[in-house]
Amino acid sequence: MLGYIYEARRILRRRNQTRMWNFALLMGFSPATPSLETFMNTRNVLVSNFRLCLSTAACCLLTASLGAQTLLNVDFGAGSRSPKTGFAATGQGTNDAWNLFRLYDPKYIPGAPLVFSGHLANLKLADGTPTDVSIDLTNAPGVWGNATGDPMYDSYIFAPNGSNMTVTLSRLEPGSYDLYLYGHADPDASGEQNSFFKITSAGTNYGPLTTLGSAGWKAAMPWQEGHQFVVFRDVQVRQDVPVIIEVAPGPNGIAVLNGLQISSKGTSPPRLARHEPVKAATGFTNLIIREIRYDGHVSDNEARFTVDLQVESFTTNELTAPLFEGDVAVIAKSLPADVRITRAGDHCILCVGAPGIYSLKLEVLAKITRAEPWNQIDFQGPFAAIASIRAQAAGGGVEMQLLSGTALENDKAASSVEGFLSAGREVSLRWQSKAAEVARNALIAVETTADVQVTPAVTKLTTTLRYELLQASVSRLRIALPVNQALTRLQGAEIRDWKIEPDGARQILAIEFIKPVEKNYELILYSEQSIGTMPAAVQITAPQPLDVERESGSLTLQQPTLSWILAMFPACAGSTPAVMRLRPSAFPRAPFCSPPMSSASSRS
């Protein structure tokens, strides 16, 4: 019996060994190695290799889930599609796609209801791949443009009456993102506009950040962080938690938004546009100077300011920001333990080594330069969301002027000046003793160029006034407009305020400047005059500058098939102005019948 049991065990072992050999042959094991121990070792190696393959596949799947860095581009404006392709401040290639967020298609039509809010779903990545990301916009009914040559930067939306607009990003994948924001409008009657941006995401506030300004920038020039755009780096996004972007007005009072780029933090970052290296505020993103106040006392020999500023740092790393630049001496009687000030040449740099909010008080002495008959100081301060200045002259009878920013109304007899600095860093003011001032009246000559475009319903005038200011500067200009003309737009530099008041059979446009203008100045007026029922006799009178010594110019009459260059003013007083007979049946053919006018004229 015992023998039968041993024989049965031997048969079972043989069958199992046969199955294992069959499995070994199936897996590629060679029969030349008959050792079961060798086979078992080989089987273990095969299992290990199989497990390694599974681990590698899992890693590949994980890597695939992480993916390359993605980029979303958004152009804010009007129309059916964005004309922008390729790079802005960042990008992946010259064919990058841009999403157009619009409230009007193809454009806003005067008289139509304003649209304050909108929604754009399923944004496309730069490579054209659709996503679930959507944008909601509130309180931005205005749309206008710049003239830089970049299609995205040349259109912008804006909020009314100095209010904020809000952009909400929904359904972004959880992760870390860099957000590039563009908010600039070229100077017009209200001055240059540069928005403040603040972001709220996953319970964390980022910013505010703003730009220095980019008036005069063109598309062929490099993009510079802190000038044409700002970057919020490492913005954390959580699942199903929207990202809120608040756009607030800058110093000139209008919140504008040109574009937005959303770059995820993946494994292959987008390329930056290839430009020459520029100084960018990359190290200052998380070091915010919220407010700075200059309180100064000046005399013929000294300009001394007490500077109060509030600084906030968000990281444990040491962060730096430019503090002062120029011919200044900085005195810090006491500083917090984690704050220090270093100097490199004429640059003072603020260093903060720990997160927190710090209130600093500094003494700044500025070098006085003499520009007869003025004493003047110029230096650069830090970037700040709010910057105010007050300066008091020693003694009475001193005229003071703030050359940077916006001065507040003050009593000229007080020998002081007070105001707010612009988004830039410049601190510039000058003063002189009134006892030494020589009273001089400005001599003003003006060259006027008027372009007239006639349509069946309205006559549009674009009047360019080129002033030549001799002997002295002027702080105010006056211009007469016909009572039947409506001023639609005013364009010029350094304009603080303007108003129109009736004056008998005409209107008087009064323009006040932030600081007196000198030497040369150009002003552009856009006005309209209704034609009414036709046929009609239309008298065209261009806006007339007042308080000038001499004026000359020309008037160009434009019509779809005819362009006449006419002398602008009658050669002598009492001459009959140009009269044109317009009949609807004649449009768009040349309908004009005008009496002859002199080829050159002037009026005084």
Contact 325, 343 (CB under 8 A): no
pLDDT band at 179 (very low <50, low <70, confident <90, very high): very high
> Is the pLDDT score of 18 beyond 80?
no
Contact 393, 299 (CB under 8 A): yes
pLDDT band at 583 (very low <50, low <70, confident <90, very high): very low
> Is the pLDDT score of 110 beyond 90?
no
pLDDT at 471: 63
Distance CA 393, CA 120 (A): 56
**Residue type, position 372, single letter:** E
- Torsion angle (degrees, nearest 10) of CA 589, 590, 593, 595: 180
- Burial degree of 73 (CB within 10 A; 0-12, 13-18, 19+): buried
pLDDT at 425: 74
pLDDT at 48: 57
Contact 396, 434 (CB under 8 A): no
Give the chain's radius of gyration (CA, Å). Answer: 36
* Residue count of the chain: 604
* Range of weakest confidence among 93-102, 220-229, 236-245, 415-424: 415-424
Q: Which residues pair with 594 in a beta bridge?
A: none
Residue boundaries of the structural domains of the chain: 2-66, 71-284, 287-309+321-436, 443-603
pLDDT at 297: 93
Using DSSP's 3-state secondary structure scheme, residue 339 falls into strand
> Is the pLDDT score of 498 beyond 50?
yes
Distance CA 432, CA 438 (A): 11
pLDDT at 3: 54
Mean pLDDT over residues 17-24, rounded? 53
Q: Provide the CATH topology of domain 443-603.
A: Immunoglobulin-like (2.60.40)
pLDDT at 141: 92
pLDDT at 66: 44
- CATH code 2.60.120 for 71-284: yes
pLDDT at 82: 92
Mean pLDDT over residues 288-310, rounded? 90
Mean pLDDT over residues 53-59, rounded? 49
pTM above 0.85, yes or no: no
Both structure tokens of 201:
């995401």
pLDDT band at 41 (very low <50, low <70, confident <90, very high): low
Number of other CB atoms surrounding residue 315 within 10 Å: 14
* Range of weakest confidence among 98-102, 187-191, 448-452, 513-517: 187-191
How far CA 587 is from CA of 11, 557, 560, 581, in Å, comes to 112, 15, 9, 12
Q: Which residues pair with 376 in a beta bridge?
A: 369, 430
pLDDT at 195: 93
> Is the pLDDT score of 369 beyond 70?
yes
Which parts of 327-370 fold into alpha helices (H)? none
Q: Give buried/exposed letters for 381-397 (b at 16+ CB in 10 A, else e).
A: bbbbbebbbbbbbeeee
Q: What does the DSSP 8-state code read for residue 385?
A: S
* Range of weakest confidence among 166-170, 232-236, 582-586: 582-586
DSSP conformation letters of 462-517: EEEEEEEEESS-EEEEEEEEETTEEEEEEE-SSEEEEEEEEETTEEEEEEEEEEEE
Residue predicted with more confidence, 36 or 511: 511
For the chain, the distance separating the N- and C-terminal CA atoms, rounded to the nearest angstrom, is 142
Mean pLDDT over residues 4-31, rounded? 53
pLDDT at 63: 42
Mean pLDDT over residues 19-26, rounded? 50
DSSP conformation letters of 398-462: EEEEE-SSEEPP--GGG-EEEEE--SS-EEEEEEEEGGGPPP-PPEEEEEEEEEEEE-SSEEEEE
pLDDT band at 135 (very low <50, low <70, confident <90, very high): very high
> Is the pLDDT score of 75 beyond 80?
yes
Distance CA 139, CA 157 (A): 10
* Range of weakest confidence among 312-321, 473-482, 571-580: 571-580
Segment 399-427, tens digit of pLDDT: 888 888 888 877 666 788 998 887 657 89
Distance CA 342, CA 350 (A): 7
Contact 425, 381 (CB under 8 A): yes
Segment 529-582, tens digit of pLDDT: 887 766 667 778 889 999 888 888 888 877 544 333 333 333 333 333 434 333
pLDDT at 599: 29
DSSP conformation letters of 34-96: --HHHHHHHHHHHHHHHHHHHHHHHHHHHHHHH-S--EEEEEEESSSS----S-SSEES-TT-
* Cis, bond preceding 355 (omega within 30 deg of 0): no
pLDDT band at 386 (very low <50, low <70, confident <90, very high): confident
Of all residues in the chain, what percent carry a pLDDT higher than 70? 74
Contact 184, 213 (CB under 8 A): yes
Distance CA 171, CA 371 (A): 59
pLDDT at 97: 95
Q: Provide the CATH topology of domain 287-309+321-436.
A: Immunoglobulin-like (2.60.40)
pLDDT at 458: 83
Q: CA 507, 511, 517: angle at the middle one, nearest 5?
A: 145
Do 287-309+321-436 and 443-603 fold alike per CATH?
Answer: yes
Give me the chain's average pLDDT, please.
Answer: 78
